[in-house]
């Protein structure tokens, strides 16, 4: 018999949680918090089946742009060179970069100590 699960969690400053670390964990990737300089590494997490980023139509276009210098730096990395599917690895990097940029922008805007920065949805 299957057991179904659905949970919604709030990531906020009041609990001392990092929205960047939470996103890196859920993506199984690396993200940098520009506010603190802290880098969250979760590349060894293999359980990530699917991840995506959805933004509204009026989101700033620069949030979706990945600078060419970042793409070239990634293509020189060991993670890219060891990847079986280079196109998929590059696409995942671009999505992760966009998420990192989004969450760092949220951190710049939401300064309150009790700010709710994001929500995490888990289901199985």
> Tell me, what's the pLDDT at 55?
82
- Residue 11, pLDDT > 80, answer yes
Which range is least confidently modeled, 41-50, 97-106, 109-118? 41-50
Q: Encode pLDDT of 67-109 as tens digits.
A: 999 999 999 998 899 999 999 999 989 989 999 999 999 899 9
Q: Which two tokens stand for residue 69?
A: 């210098």
Is 1 within a domain?
no
Q: How far is CA 68 from CA 24, 72, 97, in A?
A: 22, 6, 12
Task: Determine the structural domain holding residue 44 and report its residue range.
Answer: 6-123
Neighbours of 124 (CB within 10 A): 8
Alpha helices in the chain (DSSP H): 19-27, 68-75, 78-82, 86-109
> Is beta strand 30-32 parallel, antiparallel or unpaired with respect to 39-41?
antiparallel
> Tell me, what's the pLDDT at 79?
87
Is 106 within a domain?
yes
Count structural domains, the chain: 1
Q: Are 102 and 55 in contact (CB under 8 A)?
A: yes
Which range is least confidently modeled, 40-54, 55-69, 104-118? 40-54
Q: Which two tokens stand for residue 84?
A: 């079986």
Is 98 within a domain?
yes
Those residues whose C-beta lies under 8 Å from the C-beta of residue 1, and which sit 6 or more positions away, are: none
- Residue 17, pLDDT > 90, answer no
Question: Of 37, 93, 33, 100, whose CA–CA distance to 68 is shortest?
Answer: 93
Which residues lie across from 118 on neighbouring strands? 11
> Tell me, what's the pLDDT at 38?
93
CATH number of the domain that 75 lies in?
A: 3.30.930.30
Is 115 within a domain?
yes
**Cα–Cα distance between 46 and 57 in angstroms, integer?**
32
> Tell me, what's the pLDDT at 43?
83
């Amino acid at each position: 018999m299957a057991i179904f699960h659905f949970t919604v969690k709030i990531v906020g400053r009041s609990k001392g949680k990092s929205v960047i670390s939470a996103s890196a964990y859920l993506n199984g990737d690396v993200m940098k918090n520009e506010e603190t300089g802290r880098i969250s590494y979760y590349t060894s997490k293999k359980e990530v089946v699917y991840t995506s980023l959805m933004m509204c139509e009026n989101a700033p276009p620069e949030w979706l742009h990945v600078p060419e210098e970042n793409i070239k730096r990634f293509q020189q990395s060991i993670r890219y060179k060891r990847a079986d599917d280079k196109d998929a690895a590059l696409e995942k990097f671009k999505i992760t970069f966009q998420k990192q940029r989004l969450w760092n922008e949220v951190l710049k805007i939401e300064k309150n100590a009790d700010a709710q920065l994001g929500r995490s949805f888990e289901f199985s």
